[in-house]
Structure 1
Amino acid sequence: MNLLVELPFDGYPDEYLLARLQGRNNARIRDWPALLNQSRPSALATEGLWRDSLRKLAWLFQQMNRTMRRQTSPVFTLFELRTLSLCLRHTSSQASAAVPDLLGDSLLAPQLKRILLEDEKPQETVAAACAWLTEQHQGFAGLSAAYADEGFQGFERELFYRYLRHTLGSRHPAVIRKVLGHYVDLHNLLALYKKLRWELDVPCDFLAGGDIAPARLEKIEQQGRLPALNRLLGRLPGGAGLSAEGLEAALWRQLTRELRRASRDADGTGRIVEFACWQFIQARNLRLLQLCPDLEQDILAAELIT
């Protein structure tokens, strides 16, 4: 399955790319606490922040040689699934004028881009996108039903779930499996947290492949108590004080630390993946600063991923 564009050129040798990547890394925001004490970043819409991230990801993908593109494509695909979701949400909310800008630097396959750019009714665009995804792999069958039953919340959950389930069946470098495992843990833990927090009468469908075995989560699901989930989180490596309420930010912090260690690997894959993931993190942090300008600094600092 390949949901990304097939580039016609070979890219550059790893040594050249890694040297250029070092220069780009020097320009990243590092002192987030200092930024809290300054005027907040200029207001950009969510899609504006994401478009800036996509521009950097597209540059990176184009620079890589074919072997490196193939190895790292699962990470880029996970980010582009977010682009797909944003485009469909804009189409549904009568804000389709933002879609061309979002897709300008997107790495999504040209066929899927054409579907998203067609001037159709929102339901028809969603149906056409789901049909194209199913043509690429039957594991995406049923996305339209998820959208019809639960709207975009159900669609996005199933989109990531089905992609992860398929991709985890293939062999990947260790750092790629680490990122995939992060998304698995995030999917599983958020599903369990929502069920326990809101006392939902729907069984969780846990994925294997993360750091936390599904059997441990199933046991907590059967107990039906949120404190049991908090105790599990507190026993994770680096999870002291971790609670379900701060789950997403805490998991990204943990992954960030692990990717920094992986960035020291010999072949450069870790540095490439760490740079790619940081684009998502930086966009998230900036969006948080923009959306919560009046929030107390200590609360904001606790939510930033650094």
Structure 2
Amino acid sequence: MEEDHGGISSRIDSGSGGDSQRCLPSLNDEEYTTRCWEYDSTQSTVTRKNNLTSMPVRFDAHPKLHTHVALDPSLFGWILPRSPMVFSTFRQPVDRLLSSFHFGMRVGGDRPGQLKRCTLPGEVNSNQWQNRVVAARAAVTLQNNYTLYQQALREYLESCRDIVSNVYVQFLDPVTNDVNIAVRLLEKFVIVGLQGDIDESLQRWAKIAVWSCRDHPYINRIRKDLLTEPKHVGTHFRQSATLMELKGDGVDENEAINGTAELASPTLNELDADLQQLIRALTVDDEVIFQRAEELYAEQGHWFD
């Protein structure tokens, strides 16, 4: 699973058979590891059409999933590999919620076919919504006026509350949305990354994947792909939501030379009291998840020494 809009950034790739567990060293036994192999085509229920014959054939490797899907262990060995490698980055929950608002996220975390969806205020599309937010942030940046920003935020949270409510819990425990279960699943399955340390996170993931697959017949190709790809990931951003064209006065001279200015984003404490209270309620359980994710990130660091 992958998501590239400032929230959960996760990827579930194929692993070896056996009991569901991470393909990485055990904390209790540093000599133990679950090797990561190509998907077992003899047990695969996923088929595709042969390009030459148009006949259905089994996948010889489990397809990478690039979709929005929650981590549900009951899907292992069915929709997901039996022993997946689950890579997921985490960021400070309030920052993530505001990022979802800026980009107009409309899909929450749940099992495939059961994803929560919302309609953006005014029934606009994502581009129209982002333009509205850019204008609101421009008013904050140039005029110190928070009215348009807070109005849009209130409307978004009213329409998409279920989508942004404790999304890490939604991702980790889509069945019951229980924070305690979510923490246990985080500890059991997830190789943790932090968006605040994204370069190091990507390097860690590449190293553990190469090490786990070191006996794979295509290890040289895997190593090349994994150790070069992180250099090109995370270097892009959504310019329309970060930079604005400068029009008029009141901006720094150096910014004016480049013709752009970075848009300001109000902090939680700069918002009205009712919005602060609502946002804290929508992120209270995710704060628990994020704190544990930070601890796991530090604990898992020894795997990469």
TM-score by length of 2: 0.24
Q: Which has the higher helix share?
A: 1
Higher Cα Rg, which structure: 2
Q: Which has the higher strand share?
A: 2
